Structure 1
Amino acid sequence: MRLPTMSGHFLLAPIPESSSDYPLPKDIKLAVLGAGRVGKSAMIVRFLTKRFIGDYEPNTGKLYSRLVFVEGDQLSLQIQDTPGSVQAQDSLSQAVDSLSKCVQWADGFLLVYSITDYNSYQSIRPLYQQVRKVHPDSKVPVIIVANKGDLLHARQVQTHDGMQLANELGSLFLEISTSENYEDVCDVFQHLCKEVSKLHSLSGERRRASIIPRPRSPNMQDLKRRFKQALSSKVKAPSTVG
């Protein structure tokens, strides 16, 4: 399943220096979760710089910030890379719990596994469950990404397995190759940005709709003036003779 290309609506630019000419941008906070050596850092750097940095994760735990434009709206994008400690089943729950603060912080999530590592695929479900545990009443968007799609000779996870898991969890799914296809990497982040932005807009509309205008307080001076006028008119009114 391939997400629709939206490259024409998304532009990356350096964050400008503080200036009164720039309106404060909306914030979009994304977290990239997954086991070690699945290519999380490589995906982030490829998206932001179009460069492929190799099959290792030198920037684990780093927070990336960029200014982006989503269909004409200026957004401040932050992407949190996370430790790749979610691997072995015996330490899985502990590793997932350690990500709670990051999960609570983020507005949208990429859950990444490698098609060459079945254990990384198995880590996706508990990661997804952790996201929904922290955001129980939220529709926070989640995309499941199968990375290293070019290494077909070493495949351990079939495409239909990823699609089936995504369908069970109610999530979007995309299989990509960070090293070979920049457009697919870009599509993943762009689509997630758009979904988070859409969610923010809906939340803002709900908040505005829930605000009932406060009734204006009566002007006491005006009431006193009207009361005096009413009394005065009664005193001046001529009496009728029967």
Structure 2
Amino acid sequence: MRLIQNMTTIAECPTPEYSAPNRVIKMAVIGGSGVGKTALVVRFLTRRFIGDYERNAGNLYSREVQVDSEQVTIQVQDTPGVEMTDNCVTLPDHVACSIQWADAVVLVYSVTDRRSFDLIEQLHQLVVRAGGANMPPVILLANKSDLLHLRRVDSQQGPLLAGTLGCSFYEVSASEDYSQVHHAFHRLCCQLAKQPPPPASNSSSSHANSASTATEKRRSPLIPRPKSPNMQDLKRRFKQALSAKVRTVTSV
């Protein structure tokens, strides 16, 4: 797994100049603070669970994986936790940009945090609004299912909400079960891989044109370096000086 950069600017994962680029699948993970978004992303991409993370880092992670026998590059945008104030949720600009950038959105709540569950419906509405006509597919993840003694959201409420929102639902534990987390993300990757790739952007076309121009320049014959504009003048002066020296010797 590679950490590409902070989310303040979202860039594509660079590919070697002469290799065929992999299909890129982009996902944004959104939810309340402390629901385990970073833990889920790292668990999916590395199989490892680390309990303590820097909160609200908003990092972009990348890894090459196999999806249906095809090598693809997965880019996952972790986002800062969204908070609710006065029963109102507002997406920061960079989170809205993440939704517009992504091919799919993963909404996350914690079964131990009722407020994070109550956020989901409003977050989904904001995803619909930010995505517009090109709204990305959405799945709903309930995390921390292993903490039964701390559960605050009934196990039936997640599937009911997902049905209302029209999205897939998975209840997982990032700390206890890698297979659950992998299954949820991998199913989403398979769904996206079956869709036709988006048309190449202008920046991609410009990059391809630049690479093509550079290749043509390398193939063209070497162009001789032009002579210095003062070279002829220097030769003329040298001949004049040599001629004067010869005349002087002859006269002596």
Structures share fold, TM-score greater than 0.5: yes
1:19 deviation in Å?
6.2
Amino acid at match of 1:65: S
Q: Which runs of 5 or more structure 2 residues have no equivalent in the other structure?
A: 3-12, 200-252
Pick the aligned partner of 2:27 from 26, 30, 37.
30
1:150 and 2:174 equivalent?
A: no
Pick the aligned partner of 1:162 from 133, 137, 158.
158
1:73 and 2:70 equivalent?
A: yes
Kindly tell me: are residues 139 and 16 of structure 1, through their superposed partners in 2, closer, same or farther at Cα, counting changes over 3 Å? Answer: closer
Aligned counterpart, 2:131? 135
2:108 match: secondary structure:
strand
String of CA shifts for 1:154-178, please: whole Å, max 9, x gaps: 1110111111110000010011111
2:49 match: secondary structure:
coil
Amino acid at match of 1:54: G
Percent of residue pairs bearing the same amino acid type: 44
1:18 deviation in Å?
2.4
Larger deviation, residues 95-104 vs 137-146: 95-104
1:156 match: secondary structure:
coil
Aligned counterpart, 1:62? 59
Amino acid at match of 2:146: D
Which has the greater radius of gyration? 2
Kindly tell me: are residues 55 and 92 of structure 1, through their superposed partners in 2, closer, same or farther at Cα, counting changes over 3 Å? Answer: farther
How many residues align structurally?
190
Larger relative contact order, structure 1 or 2 (CA cutoff 8 Å, min sep 6): 1
Larger deviation, residues 94-103 vs 110-119: 94-103
Amino acid at match of 2:76: I
CA contact (8 A) 1:150 1:180 kept: yes
Kindly tell me: are residues 150 and 57 of structure 1, through their superposed partners in 2, closer, same or farther at Cα, counting changes over 3 Å? Answer: farther
1:112 match: secondary structure:
strand
Q: Which runs of 5 or more structure 1 residues have no equivalent in the other structure?
A: 1-11, 205-242
1:200 match: secondary structure:
coil
1:136 match: secondary structure:
helix
String of CA shifts for 1:20-78, please: whole Å, max 9, x gaps: 3x321111110000001100000111111111110544473000011122112221211
Amino acid at match of 2:156: H
CA contact (8 A) 1:140 1:196 kept: no
CA contact (8 A) 1:35 1:120 kept: yes
Kindly tell me: are residues 54 and 72 of structure 1, through their superposed partners in 2, closer, same or farther at Cα, counting changes over 3 Å? Answer: same
Q: TM-score, normalised on structure 1?
A: 0.71
Amino acid at match of 1:49: T
User: Aligned partners of 2:51, 2:190: CA distance in 1, in Å?
Assistant: 28
Amino acid at match of 1:157: V
Aligned counterpart, 1:236? none
CA contact (8 A) 1:39 1:57 kept: no
